[in-house]
Structure 1
Amino acid sequence: MTSSGFDQLNPVLQHHVVNSLGWNGLRPLQDEAVAPITAGSDAILLAPTAGGKTEAAIFPLLTRMESERWTGISVLYICPLKALLNNLQPRIAGYSDWVGRQTETWHGDISSSVRTQIKRERPDILLTTPESLESMLVSESVAAADLLDGLQAVVVDEVHAFAGDDRGWHLLAVLARIETLLGRPLQRIGMSATVGNPAELLGWLQGGHKRQGQVLAPSVDVATKRPDITVDAVGSSENAAKVIAALHAGEKRLVFVDSRRLAEELGKQVRDRGITTFVSHSSLSVAERRESEQAFAEARDCVIVATSTLELGIDVGDLDRVIQINSPRTVSSFLQRLGRTGRRAGSTRNCLFLCLTDQSTLEALGMLQCWSQGWVEPVVATPEPRHIAAQQILAAALQTRRLPLADWRTAWGSLPLFDSTSQQILDHMLSNGFLEQDAGSAFIGIEAEKVFGRRHFMELLAVFTAAPEFTVLAGRQEIGFVETAVLTDEVEGPRVLLLGGRSWKVTHIDWKRRHVYVEATDIQGRAKWSSVPDGASIEIARGIRDVLLGADPAGVTLTGRARATLESLRDVRRSHVSDGALVIERDERDDWRWWTWAGARANRTLAAWASNLVVPRQRIGAESVRLHRDLSVADIRDGLAEVRSGSTGRPLPAVDTAAVRGLKFSAALPESLARRTLATRIVNVAGAEIVLGEQSVVHG
């Protein structure tokens, strides 16, 4: 063992790395991470799935823990999913045990007796979620300042999953309040697979601190085998099930889908063909998911059909194949899924795309075109998080019982959470009863208790929103959760649900308690969840355009069916693309169609800016925008020139009132600010400017 990083590890860790793990060396990332992390530097650790990121963070922190004689809870290990925490706990606990340290887990499913033990005995490493951390801060039964008094470092796993979501702002805000409580900064270490802007991600993680930090992303060995990527066009989920059942017999196959409904339907279709099949998604009960994932991990000739719940590093054993139904929305997601394979010596990373429609075939090839050119999405924090600012003001008032109205932002240090509208938000909450004031301090008001006070303010402490769900019970066994719509739609005959890849006949619905009682049945069930993901980005939309113009993604194999589908699409859609210019033409309904290939957000922006040209209230997609049919060619050219000049202004899109109600904590915001927050999040100004800077050819 000659690794310089290895030489700096605690001697006991060195012994166990060699003798317990049987390693003959540290991986490049692990080697490079030792010096900066043991020196106290912030860091972003980048490596593919199963690239050893956990060890790259934990081994140096355990070394520092021993050399500096840390006591109490000194490391927080934060994950976006409770299932990932549960999966990691035995491994991290094993590492900490080597040096006589203790690791425990604290989240919503942990019993009160275990929490009491943690408060009493204070493990050295605590695995938790941001929501559980904030619960500690506001809980009357937890003395947070004492419990976290020894805290020195925070590790954020799958940091990209936080950074591009409101949960990221919530995480940073909670960490800032902990630092204020303790009176010192904490070392921050984020871990992720490949991202497009790692330096910016590090700056985001530091939350406004001007501290030493490093991005650690060792280059991949050029001798590494190129992954085996194949695209097939199968036409339907039934045909996909036939392919999955017929190919790779005896192997363990992880099938990714991007909706819970499709996971249920495909899981049953594969199982009906005699293949041992499991299903995993967020609306299954914890027990059902654990049972499926454990059984899959221990089996060989089997399939598990999953949504993104199995994308973020949860260990399901050695995989032989990853199969992707249709296309993931991002290159980053594809890389996460691809990284689940090729972990065994001599194996190759692989992914088989089974596309159910012509359009999904095109979308998969457009995404792969971006991947083949080395492009990965930058991780961008959600803009203007005013609703999170409102939530944090209320949470801080709940934590401190009395929030000083003078210099009230100091609790969040240098975190750029609050903008010029933040005082307006505070004043709104004071004037509308969310906060009361007395003697220069604010405290929780009656309106906040009424709106967010249910279940001991748990509504306030969860920053993500989900549709109301009913718990599905077979006797006393909890199967999972379904939304109201699948229980209220008109049906002929018995109401039958599809959940966990099995059919369940509804025997009784307890509307007050939100319980659905079921029994197993052979009648075909139905799965339904409301989910409307945003459309493709401008980069992937342009990747699709390149494919239609003749580009073939390098390193990707197309089956005969996929090749025939692509050639047919190139023929049918040849009028939608032009090399060097964008096309505006009449469509089959004699409407004008502007083929921008700009992505849904940029197209939404263009629709707002060019409202005199664009048909209102249309469904905005990634590829085109529909214009008024009675426009002349001259009208279109003059209208575009006017938009380019900026004389029409740059208005934000209108936001539906129902969407405002769906923005969590919007009740604590002035309605105008809630609408502005939502409008800002559905546009892409830079993408719209790109389109306006390009030539558009009008085919009259």
Structure 2
Amino acid sequence: MAGFDLLDPVLQHHIVNSLGWPGLRPLQDESIAPITAGSDAILLAPTAGGKTEAAMFPILTRMQRERWHGISVLYLCPLKALLNNLQPRIDEYAAWMGRGAMTWHGDVSQSVRDRIKRDRPDVLLTTPESLESMLVSESVDAATVLGGVQAVVVDEVHAFAGDDRGWHLLAVLARLESLLGRRLQRIGMSATVGNPDELLGWLQGGQPAAGRVIAPAVPGSAVVPEITVDSVGSVENATKVIAALHAGEKRLVFVDSRRLAEELGTLLRGRGITTFVSHSSLSAAERRESEQAFAEARDCVIVATSTLELGIDVGDLDRVIQINAPRTVSSFLQRLGRTGRRPGTTRNCLFLGITDDAVLSTLGMLQCWSTGWVEPVVATPEPRHIAAQQILASALQTRRVPLTGWQETWGPLPLFGPDSQEIFDYLLEEGFLEHDSGSAFIGPESEKHFGRRHFMDLLAVFTAAPEFRVFAGRQEIGSVETSVLTDDIEGPRVLLLGGRSWKVTHIDWKRRQVFVENTDLQGRAKWMSLPDGASFEITRGVREVLLGAQPAGVTLTRRAVATLDDVRLQRADHVTEGAFVISRDGRDDWRWWTWAGAKANRTLAAWASDLVPARQRVGAESLRLHSDLSVEEIRHGLAALRTHTGDQPHPLVDRNALKGLKFAAALPESLARRTLAARTVDVRAAAAVLREKARISGHNE
């Protein structure tokens, strides 16, 4: 029986008559039987591949067949903007069945929340953080409001799984299941990932259950996309290219920082191009205004960070342009999937490298893509700080946590490792928890560290730099980090935000608010970011390109070819086939060209302390060695490393670095350091480097 025939007849009618679809896509058809049978699933398809319908049509069918009532489906997303974008569509599908869907997140008004608690829609779209706030809130009777939940749909599941938010998501779901006394069906949706079976196991949270990965071939996926790499040399030149090419078309330009988004948006507007800007430090209203205007316009550009990488609908696109390289193949595929949706159009992406290194990094990433490689989604290791957060959040939720057997709340979820009791004891000893009569409850240290704004600091697992909200009159424009308000400058302080310049008229330091007015003066944008560095695989892709590889299916402009030729000539002494190179650099320092990625190089630096100076900036390509080493000493050091790769130390973690680990205060310092150290290494890649031969200053080993 075809999947379509298993759907509720009302859905069948509306798919044909309201949507006007001649049939279902393969993903949608194949998902119906397992999901209506209650199976867990991972649904994989490119952006705009119909994943929402593939999950919701069978879930709505099951809802109707089994007569679910109240909030029976949770639809979880990583971004509030994505929730806002999806809610009208899901509500329309639910309304066909006499059901409803509503949204609950931090921007939703209290009156709407009261209505949700009172009337309880059938589908609730929310974030994991908002779901946890419902569990702990004194104003929400979670057992009543969420008592009917039967299934959870996780959109963009890869965005959770490779981050601490993934551990948080699984832990919150485990607590909800503990509250309800039953297991929930779990459905995850994603674009292409390198390890879908492992992703399904991760989503199931250690619970053995029926589950399927559904990833049918996509019609037309064999068509080769149009991928072009150009070398433009500067942001100004990138602006000229964007302004000159594809006039009359709608272009989405991705950049790797908020600062660059602001600068490029301003430059494009200066050239008379209708330009919009979207990034995470703009207010929700500003982003919605930009995205809506862009969706309705033609002959325009929107400049965005990864905020528009996920499934937010901005209408039909003609072109995707990428400034420099995205950090992962997965991000590239998400962005590429924004194009080629209309019949007769082809997926496309134009890369504009503003430096020679950016061109090289782009080609390295594309070399990996051209071989079919995509990053596996791997959970962050040793999440002790999330374990501490969950203990405290559970104490908020239940008011009391038993001193023994407290881990049972999370079932088989592998969040709590061998250190879990040490963490619990520390929370008691330091006053984060107090105890009486065999149970623990929230203590004064929790109030001190996380109690502001009704414990909202405790319910957000990501760390963000302190920001000031920016207002033009009563309109909130966005937010800026403190440094742009405190740096020494001459003349008036002018901010660049939303692609416009704003002169600062007043700063309310206590309330962390900035008041501004429009100005024609040139503004300044500045945000701090700490990228993790390129991976082993992409860095090796760069090495392959330097050794002569060219990504299949990629066109290089004449400028890009010239840049690549120059870079290959300049770096010829840094690469060789089948070996790594150790050579003297221009300052007569030894340089070990590992081409192993930043994490592997940090690992090697920790292992090879006799060879590698402690104080240096570790990048993806190489490590600096002690300048006074002889060739023989280097050989002996490498031989010793190859003998003892099994049990080597982690990198040392500076105490100041602990400030970047959320909830570090709720951990013993030794455990916090071990958690951070485990996240800075790549033992597998480091060991792979040491298995290679070495060429040392012309001497082959």
TM-score, with normalisation over the residues of structure 2? 0.99
Is the 1:601–1:683 Cα contact (8 Å) retained in structure 2? yes
The corresponding residue for 1:603 is 601
Q: Secondary structure at the match of 1:625?
A: strand
Residues 38-47 or 642-651, more deviating: 642-651
> Would the aligned equivalents of 2:87 and 2:103 in 1 still touch at CA under 8 Å?
yes
Quick check: 1:75–1:125 contact (8 Å CA) kept in 2? yes
- From 338, 346, 353, the equivalent of 1:355 is 353
Please name the residue that 2:148 is paired with.
Answer: 150
The alpha carbon displacement at 1:223 in A equals 6.6
What is aligned with 2:660?
Answer: 662
What is the match of residue 291 of structure 2? 293
SS in 2 for 1:545: helix
1:236-635 equivalences in 2 (<5 Å): 236-635=234-633
2:98 and 2:645 map into 1 onto residues whose CA distance is 69
CA distance in 2 between counterparts of 1:245 and 1:547 reads 30
Once the two structures are superposed, residues 24-75 of structure 1 have per-residue CA deviations (whole angstroms, 9 ceiling, x without a partner) of: 1100000100000000000000000000000000000001011111111110
Residue equivalent to 2:71? 73
Q: Structure 1 residue 508: deviation in Å?
A: 1.2
Instruction: Give the AA of the match of 2:110.
Output: S
Residues 314-343 of structure 1, C-alpha deviation per residue, up to 9 Å, x if partnerless?
Answer: 000000000000000000000000000000
The answer to whether residue 671 in structure 2 is matched with residue 679 in structure 1 is no
Q: Secondary structure at the residue paired with 1:503?
A: strand
Contact between 2:43 and 2:188, CA under 8 Å: does it hold in 1? yes
Q: Which whole-Å CA distance do the structure 2 matches of 1:638 and 1:670 have between them?
A: 38
CA–CA distance in 1 between the matches of 2:556 and 2:660?
Answer: 42
Indicate how the Cα distance of structure 1 residues 647 and 78 shifts in structure 2: closer, same or farther if over 3 A, else same.
closer
| Partner Cα separation in structure 2 for residue 162 and residue 617 of structure 1 | 34
Residue pairs, 1:5-44, within 5 angstroms:
5-44=3-42
Q: Is the 8 A contact 1:642 1:648 kept in 2?
A: no
The amino acid across from 1:115 in the alignment is: R
Q: Distance in 2 between matches of 1:688 and 1:604?
A: 9
Q: Is the 8 A contact 1:609 1:649 kept in 2?
A: no
AA aligned opposite 2:267: Q
Unmatched tracts of structure 2, length 5 or more: none
Shift of 1:662: 2.1
Paired AA for residue 481 in structure 1 = S
Contact 1:610–1:648 (Cα < 8 Å) also in 2: no
**CA distance in 2 between partners of 1:247 and 1:400 (Å):** 59
SS in 2 for 1:442: strand
**How far does residue 519 in structure 1 lie from its aligned partner after superposition?**
1.0
1:222–1:16: structure 2 CA closer, same or farther, 3 Å change rule?
closer
What SS does the aligned partner of 1:631 have? coil
Distance 2:479 2:89 in 1: 30
Letter matched to residue 242 of structure 1: K
Supply the distance in 2 between the matched residues of 1:102 and 1:476 (Cα, whole angstroms): 34
Deviations 1:503-557 (A, max 9, x none): 1111111111111111111111110000010111000000000000000000000
Contact preservation (8 Å) 2:7, 2:61: yes
The residue type paired with residue 545 of structure 2 is: V
Note the 1:157-168 alignment, pairs <5 A: 157-168=155-166
Task: Give 1:649 deviation, angstroms.
Answer: 5.0
Give the superposed CA RMSD. 0.9
Residues 419-469 of structure 1: CA deviation (Å, up to 9, x unaligned)? 000100000010000000001100000111111100111111111110000
Paired with 2:531 and 2:373, the residues of 1 have a C-alpha distance of: 21
CA distance in 2 between partners of 1:475 and 1:628 (Å): 57
CA deviations over 1:91-110 (Å, ceiling 9, x no partner) = 00000011111111111111
Give, in angstroms, the shift of residue 477 of structure 1.
1.2
| TM-score of the pair, normalised by structure 1 | 0.99
CA distance in 1, matches of 2:496, 2:108: 29
Aligned counterpart, 1:200: 198
Q: Quote the Cα distance in structure 2 between the aligned partners of 1:672 and 1:223.
A: 50
* 1:190 equivalenced with 2:188 (yes/no): yes
Which amino acid is the alignment partner of residue 384 of structure 2?
R
Q: Distance between the aligned counterparts of 1:553 and 1:662, measured in 2? A: 37
Q: How far apart, CA to CA, are the structure 2 residues paired with 1:287 and 1:400?
A: 36
Distance 1:479 1:186 in 2: 40
The farther-off stretch of 320-329 and 144-153 is 144-153
- Please, which runs of 5 or more residues in structure 1 have no aligned partner? none
Contact 1:602 1:684 (C-alpha < 8 Å) held by counterparts: yes
Deviations 1:135-186 (A, max 9, x none): 1111111110111111110000000000000000000000000000000000
SS in 2 for 1:109: coil
Aligned residue number for residue 96 of structure 1: 94
Q: How far does the alpha carbon of each residue in 1:480-501 deviate from its partner, in whole angstroms, 9 at most, with x for none?
A: 1000110111101111111000
Tell me, yes or no, if the aligned pair for 2:645 and 2:687 is still in contact at 8 Å.
Answer: no
- Choose the corresponding residue for 1:52, options 50, 53, 78: 50
Distance 1:649 1:441 in 2: 40
Separation in 1, partners of 2:433, 2:219: 57
For residues 523 and 98 of structure 2, the distance between their equivalents in structure 1, rounded to whole angstroms, comes to: 52
Amino acid at match of 1:585: S
Q: Map Cα deviations across residues 257-293 of structure 1 (whole Å, 9 max, x no partner).
A: 0100000000000110000000000000111111000
What SS class does the counterpart of residue 88 from structure 2 fall into? helix
Deviation sequence 1:573-608 (CA, Å, 0-9, x none)? 111100111111001111111111100000000000
Letter in 2 for 1:25: G
Task: State whether residues 501 and 521 of structure 2, in contact with CA within 8 Å, keep that contact through their aligned partners in structure 1.
Answer: yes
CA distance in 2, matches of 1:70, 1:174: 22
- With over 3 angstroms needed to count, the CA separation of the structure-2 counterparts of 1:420 and 1:538, relative to structure 1, is same
Cα drift, residue 647 of structure 1: 8.0
**Counterpart residue type for residue 381 of structure 2:** P
Shift of 1:221: 3.5
Aligned: 1:689 with 2:679:
no
Give, in whole Å, the separation in 1 of the partners of 2:225 and 2:646. Answer: 49
CA contact (8 A) 2:26 2:218 kept: no
1:115 maps to which residue? 113
CA distance in 2, matches of 1:658, 1:684: 22
Describe the SS at the equivalent of 1:390: helix
Instruction: Name the counterpart of 1:230.
Output: 228
Structure 1 residue 406, shift from structure 2 partner? 1.2
Residue number in structure 2 paired with 1:210 = 208
Matches of 2:304 and 2:432, distance apart in 1: 41
Percent identity at matched positions? 77
